Amino acid sequence: MNFLDSIWMIPLFPAAGAILMLLFGKKLPKAAVSVICPGTVLVSFLMSLGAVLQLARLSEHSYEKILYTWLPGGPFHLTNGQMGHLQADWGFLLDPLSSVMILVVTGVGFLIHVYSVGYMGHEAGYHRFFGYLNLFIFFMLTLVLANNYLLLFVGWEGVGLCSYLLIGFYFLRDSATKAGIKAFIVNRIGDAGFVLGVLLMLATFGSLRFTSVFGEVNRQVETGLLTSGDATVALMTLLLFIGATGKSAQIPLYVWLPDAMEGPTPVSALIHAATMVTAGVYMVARSNVLFSLSPQTMAMVAGVGALTAIFAATIGLAQYDIKRVLAYSTVSQLGYMFLACGVGAYGAGIFHLMTHAFFKALLFLGSGSVIHALSGEQDMRKMGALRHKIPVTFWTFFIASLAIIGAPPFAGFFSKDEILWKAFSAETHAGLLLWVVGFVTAGLTALYIWRLVFLTFFGQSRVDHEVEHHIHESPKTMTIPLMTLAVLSIVGGWVGWPRILGGSNRLETWLEPVFEHSSKLLAHEAEHGAAAQEYLFMFLSVAVGAFGVFIAWYFFIRRPEAADRIVQTVPGVQRLLYNKYYVDEVYNAVFVDGFAKGGGTALGRFDARIVDGGVNGSAWLTLLTSRLSIWWDTWVIDGAVRLSSFTVKVLSYPVRLLQTGLVQVYALFIVFGVLIFFSYYLIR
């Protein structure tokens, strides 16, 4: 079978599953739902695998399949005066970058589907949940397989919508609905930036198709029309990056992700750790040709990434909700990925995206298993000593925790080390600073994750008494995905085994065709710096991880009272971290109460006065009339005599017609508008 030619079918299977579930799910037996939904994703995974294997045998490592012309269009003026052709296809592009993405999405997606069969088994709305989940996979696959920015946007919005639906899945819980809305709104801010960026791209390069846009950019670079630092490209990439900060939860738009943990845990694992939140990183890596042309934006990307990484990691230190710690950890790890993209190491960013998908999905699913065992308890202060009671969960969680801190030879070691090394060796002034931030964050990561491990699995049991009896290991449908992901968290990084350790870094070689043009633009890509230095850095990052684990062990196992003493000596810091630097409160005060409610109420009040009338309205009316009459006298002289007499008639006529009696205000407003327009005309 020619899998390459049928890549357009890959997203269709989950779509069919979703439609089936949402239309007829109620009537289907539970067992059928449990087979169909994971099954569709499995089929997609196998087809993706087939397609990627066939892609590897092609010489040019890129395959485009256009299904039909989605948006036909005509000739189109570009900003440079030339003509372009406006058109967007429903087309798919399989290249090394999207092949990594589809394998992660369908592979991890399938495992999480299987896990959900066990986890959601007792929930009402079982078929609805799987319907949304399948729908999400459809949109995510559309996002990563799209061959143009517009279709990518379809997926982009679609995953946002599904994310909103799934966060609010427990819609009876008020906080869940609120979190869903928050996610949607914050994402809309980012989306506005993304749309404007795409629009600017359309006007500048005359196409939205990846191959055409990047081909055009490369052509213009070669002919010298476009040089590094071009202002239009800088603006364009900046706008795109705003979109990425929304979707991938970076400063300043990260606030929705921790709240999104209100959704069911498999959702957190799939959408808010492994797939959707990495869409921003994917989009930046996809647009690498453009980003590399703009050193300003690149510095911004790296800076925001590094800042988010360390900022979120510190918040993670003081949280007690097991899922919130992981949520901040995700924000922090996404920061690493942007840091990599910002220094031009797109390959490293995608590598970390992949390994992170494995171990973070595992951490979330493991936490879900813990919560499941403890009948819904999420507070780590009410856990402890669980390692013997739920051994499979413990050991898989243990492996994931080693992977995330970058202990060799677990997956995270290779990807995180590569990012740190690339950050340092990037020839920017800030290279050392970026490395230091990344290095400190690595230590903090070890600290907060192992704090979580020690509080949950070691020490004394602080579990509530009645919950204690129910503790049980999760069913097979949950533990098998855990074990599979644990294996991936170990071996998943080996595809990127660095050359200096005797490997061949196959992932980087595989991804190279996608990034080759930006490598040319960013001349520093050539490996410089001695091998000895690289060994040293490798050792340092492992050491800081070990140090973090040691600190966590000391404070939470060896001397638990010491931790309390520290908290007591500097209570402000702890409170600041626990309350997440009060960012939510500030945003709330400024944007929600300030602009939205304030503006809405102000305009609404204005509206209410005019529309619904009342005492205030009449006062306002008097004021307006007197103002108007002054205006009137001024402008009447200029020749609208007939107009004025006519208007007076209009004004007096309907006064007693209606009890609310405010129609005249509407009419007055029309006159008012005319006057404004005329004043413009006359002043001009």
Partner 1 sequence: MTLDAAGLLAILPLLIIGAGTMAVMAAIAMKRNHKAAAALSFAAIIVALISAWMPSSVGTRAVTPLLTVDDYSRFFTTVLLVLSAGVILVSFAYLDTTAARREEYYLLLLTGTIGALVLPSASHYVALFLGIELLSIPLYALLAYLPHRERPLEAGLKYLVLAGASSAFLLFGIALLYAETGSMAFGAVAAGQLATPAMVLILVGLGFKLAIVPFHLWTADVYQGAPAPVGAFIATVSKGAVIAVTMRLLFESGALSWTAVRMLLMIMALGSMFAGNVLALMQTNVKRLLAYSSISHLGYVLMGIQIGGALAVRAVAFYVMAYTASVLLAFGVVSALSAGQKEPEELSELEGLFWTRPWMGVMLTLSMMSLAGVPLTVGFMGKYYLLAAGADSSAWLLSIGLVVTSAIGAYYYLRVVVAIYSSPPEPTQAYQRVTWPASFALMLATAVVLWLGVYPRLGLHRLDLAGSLRSAEQRSTATTR
Binding site for partner 1 (CB under 8 A): 68, 70-74, 76-77, 79, 86, 150, 153-154, 157-158, 161, 168, 171-172, 177, 180-181, 184-185, 188-189, 191-192, 195-196, 199-200, 202-203, 596-597, 599-601, 603-604, 607, 610-611, 642-643, 646, 650, 653-654, 657-658, 660, 663, 665-667, 669-670, 672-674, 676-678, 680-681, 684
Amino acid identity for residue 468 in this structure: E
3-state secondary structure of 398: helix
User: Tokens 């600041």 identify what position?
Assistant: 576
Our CB check for partner 1 shows the closer of 58 and 603 to be: 603
| Beta carbon of residue 37, minimum distance to partner 1 (angstroms, whole number) | 20
Our CB check for partner 1 shows the closer of 71 and 636 to be: 71
β-bridge partners, 83:
77
| Beta carbon of residue 292, minimum distance to partner 1 (angstroms, whole number) | 24
Q: What is the DSSP string of 107-170?
A: HHHHHHHHHHHHHTTTSTTHHHHHHHHHHHHHHHHHHHHBSBHHHHHHHHHHHHHHHHHHHTTS
Our CB check for partner 1 shows the closer of 153 and 450 to be: 153
Contact status, residue 214 vs residue 289, Cβ threshold 8 Å? yes
Tally of CA atoms within 13 A in the half-sphere of 309 that contains its CB: 29
Contact status, residue 339 vs residue 433, Cβ threshold 8 Å? no
Cα–Cα distance measured from residue 134 to residue 86, given in angstroms and rounded to the nearest whole number: 32
Our CB check for partner 1 shows the closer of 179 and 478 to be: 179
| Beta carbon of residue 586, minimum distance to partner 1 (angstroms, whole number) | 20
Copy the structure tokens of residue 483: 């074990």
Cα–Cα distance measured from residue 441 to residue 333, given in angstroms and rounded to the nearest whole number: 9
| Beta carbon of residue 490, minimum distance to partner 1 (angstroms, whole number) | 39
Copy the structure tokens of residue 519: 């490598």
Contact status, residue 473 vs residue 335, Cβ threshold 8 Å? no
Our CB check for partner 1 shows the closer of 391 and 599 to be: 599
Cα–Cα distance measured from residue 204 to residue 201, given in angstroms and rounded to the nearest whole number: 5
3-state secondary structure of 64: strand
Nearest to 281 by CA among 380, 353, 369: 353
Copy the structure tokens of residue 172: 């009876």
Our CB check for partner 1 shows the closer of 157 and 321 to be: 157
Our CB check for partner 1 shows the closer of 180 and 438 to be: 180
Cα–Cα distance measured from residue 163 to residue 15, given in angstroms and rounded to the nearest whole number: 16
Our CB check for partner 1 shows the closer of 246 and 443 to be: 246
| Beta carbon of residue 168, minimum distance to partner 1 (angstroms, whole number) | 8
**HEC assignment per residue over 466-490:** HHHCCCCCCCHHHHHHHHHHHHHHH
| Beta carbon of residue 220, minimum distance to partner 1 (angstroms, whole number) | 18
| Beta carbon of residue 425, minimum distance to partner 1 (angstroms, whole number) | 39
409 upstream amide cis, omega within 30 of 0: yes
**What b/e string do you get for 225-262 counting C-beta neighbours within 10 Å, with b at 16 or more?**
ebeeebebbbbbbbbbbbbbbbbbbbbebbbbbbbbbb
Cα–Cα distance measured from residue 90 to residue 69, given in angstroms and rounded to the nearest whole number: 6
| Beta carbon of residue 10, minimum distance to partner 1 (angstroms, whole number) | 18
| Beta carbon of residue 323, minimum distance to partner 1 (angstroms, whole number) | 23
What's the start-to-end Cα distance of the chain, in Å?
Answer: 71
Phi, psi torsion values for 2, nearest 5 degrees: -85, 95
Our CB check for partner 1 shows the closer of 174 and 464 to be: 174
Copy the structure tokens of residue 331: 């924000």
| Beta carbon of residue 20, minimum distance to partner 1 (angstroms, whole number) | 15
| Beta carbon of residue 27, minimum distance to partner 1 (angstroms, whole number) | 13
Our CB check for partner 1 shows the closer of 10 and 42 to be: 10
| Beta carbon of residue 187, minimum distance to partner 1 (angstroms, whole number) | 9
Cα–Cα distance measured from residue 478 to residue 576, given in angstroms and rounded to the nearest whole number: 37
| Beta carbon of residue 670, minimum distance to partner 1 (angstroms, whole number) | 5
Copy the structure tokens of residue 322: 């097991």
- Distance (Å) of CA 389 to CA 330, 365, 372, 385: 27, 17, 13, 8
Our CB check for partner 1 shows the closer of 593 and 607 to be: 607
Cα–Cα distance measured from residue 505 to residue 684, given in angstroms and rounded to the nearest whole number: 68
Contact status, residue 122 vs residue 15, Cβ threshold 8 Å? no
| Beta carbon of residue 183, minimum distance to partner 1 (angstroms, whole number) | 11
Nearest to 106 by CA among 134, 77, 87, 129: 134
Our CB check for partner 1 shows the closer of 289 and 610 to be: 610
Q: How long is the chain?
A: 684
Our CB check for partner 1 shows the closer of 103 and 154 to be: 154
Our CB check for partner 1 shows the closer of 176 and 343 to be: 176
| Beta carbon of residue 181, minimum distance to partner 1 (angstroms, whole number) | 7
β-bridge partners, 536:
none
Our CB check for partner 1 shows the closer of 69 and 509 to be: 69
Our CB check for partner 1 shows the closer of 77 and 559 to be: 77
Contact status, residue 651 vs residue 667, Cβ threshold 8 Å? yes
Handedness of CA 254, 269, 368, 340 (dihedral sign): negative
| Beta carbon of residue 644, minimum distance to partner 1 (angstroms, whole number) | 12
Cα–Cα distance measured from residue 307 to residue 302, given in angstroms and rounded to the nearest whole number: 8
